[in-house]
């Protein structure tokens, strides 16, 4: 989906005329406007229907291109992979890209004349950085593999899973060491 009026399609004519000059971009862009399906058969379940990405970028003109630096705030939703609770959050993606009219850097994006199109960069980072298998919090204790109790809420008292047999030899070794 391409809109000529998208805030991510920047007319860079002024910047390109004056190396060293800067332009800031602070906008919110709907995930749907990035061409990521948030409704319908091929919905990307990580994004709510009305989710918006915060785009905070600084464009700096060089003699042979434009450097784009900044961050994206990417809102995501999902199911905790440990306890299966609904969870959501915002991931901050770092942006460091170079746009050039004449590509001399193999990693650079091409300027289309005076047009600097940020959408492919933003879209790729949103797709890459929104977690596919999130956790509700870093120390989520998850569900008990034996009885299914949510161990964030209750201690179920089930025995811990058997120790890894590869370590048993080491435990025995400890008994052989002289007491300190
Ligand atoms: Zn969890
Ligand atoms: Zn249990």
Q: What are the tens digits of pLDDT across the range 127-156?
A: 999 999 999 999 999 999 999 999 999 999
Three-state SS at 87: strand
Which contiguous run of DSSP H or E holds residue 54? strand 52-61
- pLDDT band at 160; cut points 50, 70, 90: confident
* DSSP 8-class letter at 163: P
Distance 110 CA to ligand 1 centre (A): 42
Q: Which ligand is nearest to the CA of 140?
A: 1
Nearest ligand by distance to the CA of 86: 1
User: How remote is the CA of residue 83 from the centroid of ligand 1, in Å?
Assistant: 4
Q: What's the sign of the alpha-carbon dihedral 1, 35, 23, 66?
A: negative
Query: 146 CA to middle of ligand 2, Å?
Result: 5
- Which 8-state DSSP code applies to residue 132? S
Higher pLDDT, 34 or 164: 34
Average pLDDT over residues 115-131: 96
Q: Give the pairing of strands 86-100 and 109-110.
A: parallel
Q: Please report which confidence band the pLDDT of residue 1 belongs to, taking 50, 70 and 90 as the band edges.
A: very low
Confidence band of 3 (pLDDT split at 50, 70, 90) = very low
Task: Give the integer Cα–Cα distance in Å for 45 and 163.
Answer: 37
Rounded Cα distance between 95 and 74, Å, is 12
- pTM for the full predicted model: 0.81
Closest ligand by atom to 148 CA:
2
CA of 39 to the centre of ligand 1 (A): 26
Ligand 2 centre to CA of 157 (Å) is: 6
Q: Using CA atoms, how far apart are residues 112 and 135, in angstroms rounded to an integer? A: 41
């Amino acid at each position: 989906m391409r809109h000529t009026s998208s805030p991510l399609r920047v007319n860079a004519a002024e910047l390109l005329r004056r190396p060293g000059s800067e332009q800031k971009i602070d906008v919110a862009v709907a995930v749907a406007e990035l061409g990521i399906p948030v409704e319908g058969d091929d919905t990307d379940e990580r994004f709510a229907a009305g989710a918006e990405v915060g785009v905070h970028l600084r464009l700096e003109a060089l003699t042979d291109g434009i450097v784009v630096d900044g961050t994206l705030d990417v809102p995501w939703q999902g199911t905790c992979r440990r306890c299966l609770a609904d969870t959501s959050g915002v991931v901050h993606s770092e942006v460091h890209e170079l746009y050039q009219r004449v590509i001399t850097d193999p990693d650079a994006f091409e300027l289309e004349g005076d047009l600097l199109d940020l959408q492919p960069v933003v879209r790729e980072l949103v797709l890459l950085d929104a977690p596919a298998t999130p956790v509700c919090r870093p120390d989520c204790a998850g569900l008990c593999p034996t009885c299914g109790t949510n161990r964030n809420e209750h201690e179920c008292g089930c025995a811990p899973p058997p120790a890894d047999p590869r370590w048993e030899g080491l435990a025995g070794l400890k008994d052989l060491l002289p007491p300190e």
